[in-house]
Amino acid sequence: MPKWLLFAAAAGVLHAAVIRGTVVEHQSGHPLARALVAIEPVSGTPGKVRSVRTNLSGVFEFSALSAGAYLVNVSRRAFAPVQYGQKRWKAAGVPVVVDEAGSAILNIRLARYGAITGTLLDENGVALPEHEVVAYLNTRPPRLAARGTTDDRGMYRIYGLEPGAYLIRTAARDYDEGSYLPTFARESATVDLALPVEVVLDQDTTDANVRPAPGRLFSVSGRAITSPRAPATVTLVSDMGSQTTTSDSDGRFQFKPEAPGQYEVYAQSSGARGLNAAFQPLALDRDRDIGVTLSPLPTLEVRIADTRGQSVDAPGIQILSRRKDLSGDGKPNTLRLKDGSAQLMPGRWDLSLAPTPGYVVAKFSGPRAEETGGPDGWHEISVAGNGAFPVIFTLSSNPGAVHGIVKSAGDPVPGAPVYLEAYDPDRRRRLADLRTVRTDTRGRYTFAGLAPGLYRILSTFEFNAPESSDLDASGAGMFRLEEGRDEPLDLDLYVIR
């Protein structure tokens, strides 16, 4: 039997299984009271998700359980969440398997999030107090993670950080005696030359010091033009984040001074006939006073058709949308259609059709559409003004599927994560969101509703939501799926040796 599989001895409550244990702080071993412990049955195990909180001694218990496999998740404020059996941060948890009338006793350790500390000094090495410092995940564009402010000695501590690589950047600051430009650690004006800082659990990453560069900041002000005149909410966006303000009754607005660079301006206002909005790019190379004219929202006219051009009216079809701006991608939301149309704020958007049983997206067309993935992935569009913009999703009624059994040393693996990636080998990139399932108690998995194309597949406990680079390193299997085909594919559990 594989070593990673925990089988409980026959003991405990008659005819019912029990999972009990203790949650402690990783560094000290002290019991953690009020930690939230949740169990989730693996497919094929009767029951539903249950949760309890640990008592003052850090003890928890789930009794009267059906025999089977369970995923155990533990969380507590200020600590990194844990799935029982994780080898490392962001690895997948291993299910706990209990026999009828068996019990499992678990000891779970929670580590605190990491932190970054450092000092801000001026050009003469003197501390800069009350200066904002921002930590970004080292992505492109960088993604805001947390903020901090220096104390009277110019020292800061940004905490609550997950493990990974971060970029530290000072905020623009306009003092009476002069201005400082946003500056990355260590002393870089651009993200490409910034020095990444590594964060690990239970530790402070120290000496992330920065000397902000003196320089000229530019003011951004203007007037949001509405009819009739009304206050508007105005947002200024760059690749490093955003700031929002509200105009006065005459539409006048002003932002705090910003560094030179490329920005986007978004504005919206509620009128008697609904929302009015505007979007415009802005190159900030001097003090700017701009006029932003708001108009009724653009309308998307959404059509869903089959490959013969006939309209498809399938229940459960959902269109997902997410805002795109210089700071990155927003959170996906369901686009609410009324009589086949919906209104969007002006600007750039991603659209995707949520997977639907019996159909798969074969083609997409839309306003100024840019193909950013496969047919069933995200599609970027651009809308502006108050016009109507047609969007067409073409569906095929012959989706594909892949199924199989995950094994380790010849034995089926219950509760094993299986990851499926639509992949473009020429551009070496992922074409759609990663799909994930877990095997059932017999080690079986299925992915349905797949578009034809090239895929990579991997089953492992080593990762949780792996990146494409992780699939590269693990030698994930690659296969081509034909339209309408249900591909049988058994997998060996991948383990880092």
Q: Name the strand (E) or helix (H) holding 468.
A: helix 468-474
What SS3 class is residue 306? strand
Percent of the chain with pLDDT over 70: 96
Q: What average pLDDT score do residues 215-227 get?
A: 96
pLDDT tens-digit series, residues 137-158: 999 899 999 999 999 999 999 9
pLDDT tens-digit series, residues 291-310: 999 999 999 999 999 999 99
pLDDT tens-digit series, residues 380-433: 999 988 899 999 999 999 999 999 999 999 999 999 999 999 999 998 999 999
User: What's residue 340's pLDDT?
Assistant: 92
Of 153, 279, 287, the residue nearest 217 (C-alpha): 287
User: What's residue 372's pLDDT?
Assistant: 64
Burial of 213 (0-12, 13-18, 19+ CB in 10 A): middle
Q: How sure is the predictor about 462, in pLDDT bands with cuts at 50, 70 and 90?
A: very high
Other CB atoms within a 10 A radius of the CB of residue 367 amount to 16
pTM for the full model?
Answer: 0.88
CA distance 408 to 497: 14
CA distance 160 to 375: 38
User: What's residue 15's pLDDT?
Assistant: 59
186 upstream amide cis, omega within 30 of 0? yes
User: What's residue 354's pLDDT?
Assistant: 85
Q: What average pLDDT score do residues 211-238 get?
A: 95
Q: What average pLDDT score do residues 66-71 get?
A: 97
Name, in order, each residue with C-beta under 8 angstroms of 311's C-beta and a sequence gap of 6 or more.
Answer: 303, 304, 305
User: What's residue 14's pLDDT?
Assistant: 44
- Are the C-beta atoms of residues 52 and 60 closer than 8 Å to each other? yes
Q: How sure is the predictor about 103, in pLDDT bands with cuts at 50, 70 and 90?
A: very high
